[in-house]
A and B are shown apart, each in its own frame.
Chain A
Amino acid sequence: MIGNIETILEPTVRLGVLLLFAALGEYVAERAGTINISLEGMMLSGAYGAALVSSLTGSPVVGILAGMGAGLVIAYIQAQLSHRLDIDQFVVGIALTTLALGLTTFLFIEVEMSSGRLHEFRIPGLANIPIIGEAFFGQVWLTYLIVPAIFIVRWVMTRTSWGLELRAVGENPPAADVSGVPVLARRRQSIYVCGLLAGLSGAYLAVGLVGGFSQNMTAGKGFIAIAAVLFGGWRLWGAVAGALLFGFADALAVALPAVGVENVPGALLNSLPYVLAFGGLLVFAARARKPSALAVPFSRGVN
């Protein structure tokens, strides 16, 4: 029984953190007023960039940085098109996700790369704690980065003027505008942050968990991360809870057969994260107060 908990807890942390990196980025973008659905494309290109560069240089760290850079490239295009040139943010997001999927699939077939994965970094002492030790302290080092990442995002969003301006831009852009906040610039910057974090999430998947790239390897995880932010009611800790919950649902698909529960249909397990996310939104979305200007494009002079 205790062994079973361990078997489920370990992939929950692994997959939950994967979603969480992306969800943190999406949280920043959404608080500034963008529903960034190119998140999936950012993760996918981050995964490809990380796998390719770490295979070329032999250094996973450089690979991870490259993955963040690849996410940033998508973010740059998304930000410029939707918050400078006034093209519909969803349309841009769909186009970019399609482009990322097509390009990574094509390049993956055309360019050969070797596989290589980060090693687990067991934190001495703590990793030996029964039940939770392996799950929380026996992961690859990139996993632990999520803890400072959460607190840095929290600090930036609540304690810096930049973060306050981001949130103002998501709530009431005309008011922010007359106060001298560069609305579109802040929105673009929020998407850059999102791109970096989503790229990191993709890199974590490719270099940290799988050790290589495969076609469409994110498989909708970016969309689940967006759902986690909505599920969490656009609050940081809500998004964290949502990401971990959906990570748990993902983990069940991996772990249930391993703990001897075999008569659950695979179709049910596969759709569990999505059903859970939809159900969660049904329960929580109506109560949450979303950023007032979410998905509303800003232009001066009209309202």
Chain B
Amino acid sequence: MTAAGHSSAAVTGNGAGNSDATPPESGLVGRVEPRSVRLAYQAAFFVLFLALATVASGALVALAGGSPTAVLDALLDGSLRSPGAWGRSLIEMVPLALVGLGVVVAFKAGSYNIGQEGQFAMGALGAAVVSLLVPGPGALVMALALIAAAAAGGFWAGLAAVAEARRKVDVLISTLLLTFVAPNVILFLVSRDYLLLDTTESNNRLASQSERIAEEVRLPNLEIFGNKVHAGVLVALVVTGLVALLLARSVWGLRLRTLGLSARTARRAGVRPGVVGGGALVFSGAAAGLAGGMLLSGAAFRLRAEIANDFGWHGLLVALVARLNAAAVLPVAFFFAMVRTGGGFLTATGVSRTVTDVVQALFVVAALLPAALMFIRDRRAARRMALRSVSDTAP
């Protein structure tokens, strides 16, 4: 990792057992930094950069002639304080969190799936097809629709997985390219009256959209303290817990993380990259697809080509801000959901709601920088160490 390779583990404190070890007599290995100190530094850097991102966002608003406090007020009103607002934010959080979890799994396995936006749209398509066309009892159809959503998203990512396994096509590019195809598939289907186009009187065949799905096949609503949320919130909670647990504690999680850290080591240890890596890719597609299904069955109710509405991209950013930590995905997703729902309340402040896109991007950049500062610290420590060991061994 650093020039002083032999001592870098001790310097950075990555080794699990040596966090409290006393420095040996020889000058070769220097003072060990306890893990807690390291974490404290990371947290401090993180807070510092989040503060900087907030200040930068405020400065941008001020430059655009708005009042930063008014904008913050509007964002908080729209996302938390006005009646029913935090319920809306929670509903918005569900797709973001599910997409983000998929990203965590894929990236941890070294599979750079960045086509969530398309997988999300395909998931919504799967849910819409089942919800509209399959007869049967409401609850059963709803469950089938969500399964179909996950399958459709997984299939869309699976195309990239097969292309990589068989034809060595880079996942990064293939998932991206497929993202631009997905909305066109939906557009094709919802603008043909013999397929999914809404042919009822109210639409008059004008808008390219499907009919609304029936009341019985929608996600059931729960009411908490006057805020309406749908059952998907519970699903998101359970899935987050499961993924975090499996990644940290299961054989599958270990194989996946090994593959992501070093493909060569993983292969030596008997991990099959096609199965584990491709599986992670399909899983992340299925998660994005399920998110799309949740949006359709729980909030949107009808299919349009633009249904993904940046949920896929924002879910990707959620995972990056969460530093690929499954447990952190939920709070970060809620934050992003607040920015999304609050953005609609900015009109009165005279600042364009597109400022929320900049704010989100600034937070993504801010979340990257602590790692950079840690890298600089480690490098400095290693250099000091190398210098000291040279001066100690000199006659």
| A and B interact | yes
Binding site for B on A (CB under 8 A): 35, 37, 81, 85-87, 90-92, 94-96, 98-99, 101-103, 105-106, 109-110, 220, 223-224, 226-227, 230, 265-268, 270-271, 274-275, 277-278, 281-283, 285-286, 299-302
- Cβ B170 vs Cβ A267 within 8 A: no
How long is the Cα–Cα vector from A106 to B56 in the complex, in angstroms? 14
Which of these, B168, B177, B320, contacts A95 with CB under 8 Å?
B320
- Cβ B181 vs Cβ A275 within 8 A: yes
- State how many residues of chain B have any CB contact under 8 Å with chain A: 48
Q: Which residues of B contact A98 (CB under 8 A)?
A: 313, 317, 357, 360-361, 364
- Say yes or no: is B173 at the interface (Cβ < 8 Å to chain A): yes
Q: Which residues of A contact B2 (CB under 8 A)?
A: 299, 301
Question: 16 A–B contact pairs at CB < 8 A?
Answer: A86-B375, A87-B375, A95-B317, A95-B365, A99-B361, A101-B357, A102-B359, A103-B358, A110-B352, A220-B176, A226-B173, A270-B187, A282-B167, A285-B169, A286-B167, A301-B2
B23–chain A nearest beta-carbon distance, Å: 22
- Say yes or no: is B202 at the interface (Cβ < 8 Å to chain A): no
- Cβ B352 vs Cβ A302 within 8 A: no
- Cβ B361 vs Cβ A95 within 8 A: yes
Given contact pairs A230-B170, A267-B187, A99 touches B177 in the complex (Cβ within 8 A): no
Which of these, A94, A267, A278, contacts B191 with CB under 8 Å?
A267
A273–chain B nearest beta-carbon distance, Å: 8
- Cβ B181 vs Cβ A274 within 8 A: yes
- Say yes or no: is B5 at the interface (Cβ < 8 Å to chain A): yes
Q: Which residues of B contact A85 (CB under 8 A)?
A: 371-372, 375-376
A1–chain B nearest beta-carbon distance, Å: 29
- Cβ A94 vs Cβ B316 within 8 A: yes
Contact digits for B173-192, partner A, Cβ 8 Å, 1 yes 0 no: 11011101100110110010
Nearest to B320 among chain A residues (CB) is: A91
Given contact pairs A106-B60, A299-B2, A267 touches B185 in the complex (Cβ within 8 A): yes
Given contact pairs A267-B184, A267-B188, A274-B178, A281 touches B364 in the complex (Cβ within 8 A): no
B225–chain A nearest beta-carbon distance, Å: 34
B379–chain A nearest beta-carbon distance, Å: 9
How long is the Cα–Cα vector from A90 to B171 in the complex, in angstroms? 12
- Cβ B163 vs Cβ A281 within 8 A: yes
- Say yes or no: is B48 at the interface (Cβ < 8 Å to chain A): no
Q: Which residues of A contact B60 (CB under 8 A)?
A: 106
- Cβ A81 vs Cβ B368 within 8 A: yes
Given contact pairs A81-B372, A94-B320, A278-B177, A299 touches B358 in the complex (Cβ within 8 A): no
Q: Which residues of A contact B173 (CB under 8 A)?
A: 223, 226-227, 230, 281
How long is the Cα–Cα vector from A301 to B386 in the complex, in angstroms? 14
Q: Which residues of B contact A224 (CB under 8 A)?
A: 177
- Say yes or no: is B94 at the interface (Cβ < 8 Å to chain A): no
B132–chain A nearest beta-carbon distance, Å: 19
How long is the Cα–Cα vector from A74 to B316 in the complex, in angstroms? 20
Which of these, B181, B365, B372, contacts A271 with CB under 8 Å?
B181
How long is the Cα–Cα vector from A92 to B3 in the complex, in angstroms? 24
Q: Which residues of B contact A268 (CB under 8 A)?
A: 184, 188
B248–chain A nearest beta-carbon distance, Å: 21
- Say yes or no: is B112 at the interface (Cβ < 8 Å to chain A): yes
Q: Which residues of B contact A270 (CB under 8 A)?
A: 184, 187
Supply 17 further A-B pairs (C-beta < 8 A) apart from A35-B172, A94-B114, A101-B357: A35-B170, A81-B372, A86-B372, A87-B368, A90-B112, A101-B361, A102-B361, A103-B361, A223-B177, A227-B173, A267-B185, A271-B185, A275-B181, A278-B181, A281-B167, A282-B169, A285-B169
B7–chain A nearest beta-carbon distance, Å: 11
A254–chain B nearest beta-carbon distance, Å: 16
- Cβ B167 vs Cβ A285 within 8 A: yes
- Say yes or no: is B1 at the interface (Cβ < 8 Å to chain A): yes
Which of these, B65, B316, B364, B375, contacts A99 with CB under 8 Å?
B364
How long is the Cα–Cα vector from A224 to B364 in the complex, in angstroms? 24
Pick the 3 closest A-B CB pairs, nearest first.
A102-B357, A85-B372, A99-B361
A246–chain B nearest beta-carbon distance, Å: 10
Given contact pairs A268-B184, A300-B3, A106 touches B320 in the complex (Cβ within 8 A): no
Q: Which residues of A contact B376 (CB under 8 A)?
A: 85
- Say yes or no: is B64 at the interface (Cβ < 8 Å to chain A): yes
Contact digits for B46-75, partner A, Cβ 8 Å, 1 yes 0 no: 000000000000001000110000000000
- Cβ B176 vs Cβ A223 within 8 A: yes
- Say yes or no: is B354 at the interface (Cβ < 8 Å to chain A): yes
Q: Which residues of B contact A35 (CB under 8 A)?
A: 170, 172
How long is the Cα–Cα vector from A62 to B376 in the complex, in angstroms? 38
A109–chain B nearest beta-carbon distance, Å: 4
How long is the Cα–Cα vector from A86 to B377 in the complex, in angstroms? 13
Q: Which residues of A contact B357 (CB under 8 A)?
A: 98, 101-102, 105-106
- Cβ B375 vs Cβ A227 within 8 A: no
- Say yes or no: is B243 at the interface (Cβ < 8 Å to chain A): no
How long is the Cα–Cα vector from A110 to B64 in the complex, in angstroms? 6
- Say yes or no: is B355 at the interface (Cβ < 8 Å to chain A): yes
How long is the Cα–Cα vector from A186 to B145 in the complex, in angstroms? 52
- Say yes or no: is B231 at the interface (Cβ < 8 Å to chain A): no
Given contact pairs A94-B320, A99-B358, A302 touches B5 in the complex (Cβ within 8 A): yes
Q: Which residues of B contact A302 (CB under 8 A)?
A: 1, 5
Which of these, B65, B174, B313, B358, contacts A278 with CB under 8 Å?
B174
- Say yes or no: is B28 at the interface (Cβ < 8 Å to chain A): no
A243–chain B nearest beta-carbon distance, Å: 15
- Cβ B361 vs Cβ A277 within 8 A: no
Which of these, A103, A220, A281, A283, contacts B174 with CB under 8 Å?
A281
- Say yes or no: is B32 at the interface (Cβ < 8 Å to chain A): no
A278–chain B nearest beta-carbon distance, Å: 5
How long is the Cα–Cα vector from A286 to B172 in the complex, in angstroms? 15
Q: Which residues of B contact A275 (CB under 8 A)?
A: 181
Contact digits for B285-319, partner A, Cβ 8 Å, 1 yes 0 no: 00000000000000000000000000001001100
- Cβ A102 vs Cβ B358 within 8 A: yes
Given contact pairs A94-B320, A278-B178, A106 touches B372 in the complex (Cβ within 8 A): no
How long is the Cα–Cα vector from A267 to B189 in the complex, in angstroms? 9
